[in-house]
């Protein structure tokens, strides 16, 4: 099968690789793979937040529509407001504009590095009330520890943030500082000396978070004492290490609610970065994610399944990706904005869930190449839904609760073999009234075929090839009898499709489009895409054909 121009799913002459034997689906739920609600979440660049959200008088309803889609499919996303620019933002109480930013191309061409915010900035937290979106707010640590204006900004903005987030119960958590492990080495300009170390970081973090706690107590009476996501490091191999931060007493006040770490598979300008070799590569994804679980396990042995750490009497803070996406430095055109990046996002999110990550915040900002959507018109880009958003939709459909009556499903990886261009996952759920993982039932299987298929000149997603090659379709068979699925059971088939891995438009999930120009991001069912497919379980197995550069969600029964 292939997706023809305009999105038509039709049969095409193509080779089919038949699986030699059925892959085994786990019979039991994975104790590591139980995500939180809002597993599919976002991180919005601090300087871009007013554009993504709008304000009270002009809310960004397009962003609201896209978030509402995910809420209907699964659960409402959580929004982290932060990123590099939170550590450049200073407060000006007399400024009428929500944010004034100056871009210095020598430091970063993608976001301002000189920023002032006014009281109106905090109006953006009130723009999506009907969605019950919860937010985290990022305070400026970069300038807060070494400039009086930065410290005064903290003192001035805590009351504004806590009041804005208290109204309507919008508070998710707090964050003080973004990627402090890069403060002394940042390519945008160091904000700490070379002697910057974990002990100094912890001392400054504790001092500021105690001031935040006291300010919230005084200015937002009735609000619970602040809890934080931390340490929000950029990675596991930088100058400062999370393990040393923890040993230095980072959580001595017992106020870290979430262990937040950041991840990018590679860099936009790193040598050798390709769509197939870097993003559409399950082995690379596993290696990148596993480095974070290794770090977490070293600090909290035995805690990933949600229990107590063997080295602590208190429950370890759950592991999340507070910020992540494909390629750092805001992504690369032709890679991060392609359908291949959407397939990578499905694999990355589901693998993260399967190894113990409880929530994943995909980062984005205005004009960023890896963004899920462009919220406003600019000189560089038009308003529109980007390919990675469709990856979020597919993940939301995979992890959604069953009939809203049970907890979120548990995600397990299905072993397929040594091919790095494919991955599969199972989702189990606990029927109402049954708590044991042994009683969990198979709800869904996701198959991701990441073998590249390109239909544009140079793979740039712009100029179509005059004679595109035939598209290979691969047959995947799964043994589901051991997971409690009966022969003859009907299995629903939903496809994540585009013309190829290089496509940047014409993308659908189960025939739905979420494009801006159709209905401002609301779901529109396309009539030229085949939908309503089903297959049957036969001999304890279910089989499905998956074209190269596409994904399929199989749902069992009414799951």
Half-sphere exposure of 18 (CA within 13 A, CB side): 2
Q: Provide the H-helix boundaries in 334-424.
A: 339-354, 387-399
**Using an 8 Å Cβ cutoff, are 207 and 200 in contact?**
no
**Distance of alpha carbon 371 from alpha carbon 260, whole angstroms:** 20
**Using an 8 Å Cβ cutoff, are 331 and 268 in contact?**
yes
Selected catalytic residue, list 175, 198, 257, 295: 198
Give me Rg for the CA atoms of the chain.
23
Q: Is 313 exposed, middle or buried (0-12, 13-18, 19+ CB in 10 A)?
A: exposed
Helix (H) or strand (E) holding 202: helix 198-219
**Distance of alpha carbon 535 from alpha carbon 532, whole angstroms:** 10
| Residue 4 neighbours by CB under 8 Å, 6+ apart | 10, 499
**Distance of alpha carbon 309 from alpha carbon 296, whole angstroms:** 10
| Residue 403 neighbours by CB under 8 Å, 6+ apart | 558
Instruction: Quote the Cα angle for 242-36-492, to 5°.
Output: 130
Selected catalytic residue, list 34, 45, 51, 323: 323
**Distance of alpha carbon 291 from alpha carbon 273, whole angstroms:** 19
**Of 182, 89, 194, 190, which is closest to residue 144 (Cα–Cα)?**
89
Task: Identify the sign of the CA torsion 156, 158, 162, 165.
Answer: positive
| CA 428, chain centre distance (Å) | 21
CB burial of 165-179 (b: ≥16 within 10 Å; e: otherwise) equals bbeeebbbbbbbbbb
**Using an 8 Å Cβ cutoff, are 6 and 529 in contact?**
no
- What is the secondary structure of 371-387 as a DSSP string? -SEE-S--SS--SEE-H
Compute, in degrees rounded to 10, the torsion defined by CA atoms 107, 179, 77, 450: 80
Assign 512 to helix, strand or coil. strand
323 has catalytic annotation: yes
**Of 284, 201, 283, 206, which is closest to residue 238 (Cα–Cα)?**
201
Length of the chain equals: 559
Helix (H) or strand (E) holding 420: none
**Of 271, 272, 267, 260, which is closest to residue 236 (Cα–Cα)?**
260
175 has catalytic annotation: no
Catalytic residue ranges: 198, 323
């Amino acid at each position: 099968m292939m997706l023809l121009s305009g999105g038509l799913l039709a049969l095409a002459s193509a080779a089919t690789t038949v699986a030699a034997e059925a892959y085994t689906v786990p019979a039991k739920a994975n104790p590591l793979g139980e995500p939180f609600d809002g597993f599919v979440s976002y991180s919005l660049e601090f300087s871009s937040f007013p554009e993504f959200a709008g304000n009270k008088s002009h809310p960004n309803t397009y962003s609201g529509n896209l978030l509402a889609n995910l809420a209907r499919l699964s659960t409402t996303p959580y929004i982290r407001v932060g990123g590099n620019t939170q550590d450049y933002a200073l407060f000006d109480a007399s400024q009428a504009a929500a944010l004034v930013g100056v871009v210095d191309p020598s430091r970063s061409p993608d976001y301002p590095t000189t920023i002032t915010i006014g009281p109106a900035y905090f109006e953006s937290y009130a723009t999506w009330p009907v969605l019950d979106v919860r937010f985290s707010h990022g305070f400026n640590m970069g300038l807060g520890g070494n400039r009086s204006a930065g410290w005064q900004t903290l003192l001035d903005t805590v009351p504004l943030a806590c009041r804005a987030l208290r109204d309507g119960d919008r508070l998710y958590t707090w964050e003080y500082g973004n990627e402090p492990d890069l403060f002394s080495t940042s390519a945008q300009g160091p904000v700490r000396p070379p002697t910057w170390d974990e002990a100094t970081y912890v001392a400054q973090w504790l001092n500021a978070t105690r001031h935040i706690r006291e300010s919230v107590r005084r200015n937002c009476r009735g609000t619970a004492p602040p809890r934080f996501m931390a340490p929000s490091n950029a990675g596991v191999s930088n100058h400062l290490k999370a393990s040393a931060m923890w040993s230095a007493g980072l959580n001595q006040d017992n106020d870290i609610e979430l262990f937040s770490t950041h991840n990018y598979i590679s860099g936009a300008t790193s040598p050798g970065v390709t769509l197939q070799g870097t993003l559409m590569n399950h082995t690379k994804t596993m290696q990148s994610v596993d480095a974070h679980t290794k770090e977490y396990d070293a600090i909290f042995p035995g805690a990933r399944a949600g229990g107590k750490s063997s080295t602590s009497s208190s429950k370890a803070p759950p592991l999340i990706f507070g910020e992540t996406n494909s390629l750092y430095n805001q992504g690369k055109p032709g890679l991060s904005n392609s359908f291949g990046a959407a397939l990578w996002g499905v694999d990355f999110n589901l693998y993260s869930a399967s190894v113990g990550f409880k929530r994943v915040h995909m980062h984005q900002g205005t004009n960023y190449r890896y963004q899920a959507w462009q919220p406003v018109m600019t000189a560089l880009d038009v308003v529109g839904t980007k390919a990675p958003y469709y990856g979020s939709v597919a993940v939301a459909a995979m992890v959604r609760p069953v009939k809203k009556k049970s907890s979120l499903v548990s995600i397990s990886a299905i072993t397929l073999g040594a091919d790095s261009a494919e991955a599969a996952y199972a989702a189990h759920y606990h029927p109402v009234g049954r708590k044991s993982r042994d009683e969990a039932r198979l709800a869904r299987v996701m198959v991701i075929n990441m073998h590249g298929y390109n239909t544009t000149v140079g793979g740039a997603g712009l100029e179509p090839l005059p004679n595109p090659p035939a598209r290979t379709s691969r047959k995947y068979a799964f043994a589901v009898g051991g997971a409690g699925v009966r022969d003859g059971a009907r299995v629903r088939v939903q496809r994540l499709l585009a013309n190829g891995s290089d496509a940047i438009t014409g993308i659908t999930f189960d025939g739905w489009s979420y494009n801006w120009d159709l209905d401002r991001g609301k779901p529109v069912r396309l009539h030229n895409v085949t939908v309503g497919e089903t297959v049957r379980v036969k001999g304890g197995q279910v089989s499905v054909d998956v074209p190269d550069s596409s994904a399929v969600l199989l749902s069992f029964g009414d799951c």
